[in-house]
Amino acid sequence: MELIPIGMSRNGRDVHLARPETIEAFHRMSVAARREKVFLCAIWAYRSPALQREQFREAQHKHGRREGIRWLAPPGFSEHQTGWALDIGDEKDMEADDNPLFERTAAFRWLRTHAAEFGFELSFLAGNWQGVNYEPWHWRYVGTPQARRAFRSVGLRAGLVWGRSFMEAIRRWAMW
């Protein structure tokens, strides 16, 4: 998987990486949004398995062993490990980064209308069957056949591959 920088974290400490096609589409989308005075930024992009493990442990610590899974995917099951998933923030509303407040932002309203034009879709809708918390900030790039195949199987918008992994992961981790 080829990964290149998409930008820095707000604190300037981390360089976020993603696949070139994700970045190209995000860039075109950001330019279009900016024309309408909406300022998108990438809060999280690729997450390495090691980082996923660390953050999963933190989420379990914070939300409890079972609830933790609803907040963050177990290692090996995160869309962030594909290089096609982005957590998108509103440059003007840092408080809404990576949490449900993101719904109040101009960025979210704009994305809801326009993201599909650039090949992005919301991964986890409200009440999704994977049992993952609704994440208005978490978008995935499905603009190439390869990306679409990874996330989706015939007739199942949510993506059988990821969905099934999730169910297995939940079972495995819940028994733990």
Asked whether position 87 contacts Zn ion by CB under 5 A, the answer is yes
Q: Which is nearer to Zn ion, 137 or 173 (CB)?
A: 137
Provide, rounded to whole angstroms, the least separation between the CB of residue 137 and Zn ion.
7
Angle at 82 between CA 135 and CA 9, to 5 degrees: 65
Interface of this chain with Zn ion, residues 96 to 135, rule: CB under 5 A: none
Interface of this chain with Zn ion, residues 57 to 86, rule: CB under 5 A: none
Provide, rounded to whole angstroms, the least separation between the CB of residue 47 and Zn ion.
8
SS3 label, residue 46: coil
Q: Which is nearer to Zn ion, 44 or 173 (CB)?
A: 44
Provide, rounded to whole angstroms, the least separation between the CB of residue 55 and Zn ion.
10
Provide, rounded to whole angstroms, the least separation between the CB of residue 104 and Zn ion.
18
Provide, rounded to whole angstroms, the least separation between the CB of residue 42 and Zn ion.
11
Spatial CA neighbour of 38 closest among 105, 100, 137: 105
Q: Which is nearer to Zn ion, 36 or 131 (CB)?
A: 131
- Residue facing Zn ion at closest CB distance: 138
Q: Which is nearer to Zn ion, 110 or 139 (CB)?
A: 139
Q: Using CA atoms, how far apart are residues 48 and 75, in angstroms rounded to an integer?
A: 9
Q: Which residue has the tokens 């069957």?
A: 129
Q: Using CA atoms, how far apart are residues 143 and 152, in angstroms rounded to an integer?
A: 12
Question: What are the start-end ranges of the E strands in the chain?
Answer: 4-8, 15-18, 40-44, 85-90, 120-122, 138-141
Which amino acid, one-letter code, is at 59?
A
User: Which residues of the shown chain bind Zn ion in the complex (CB under 5 A)?
Assistant: 87, 138
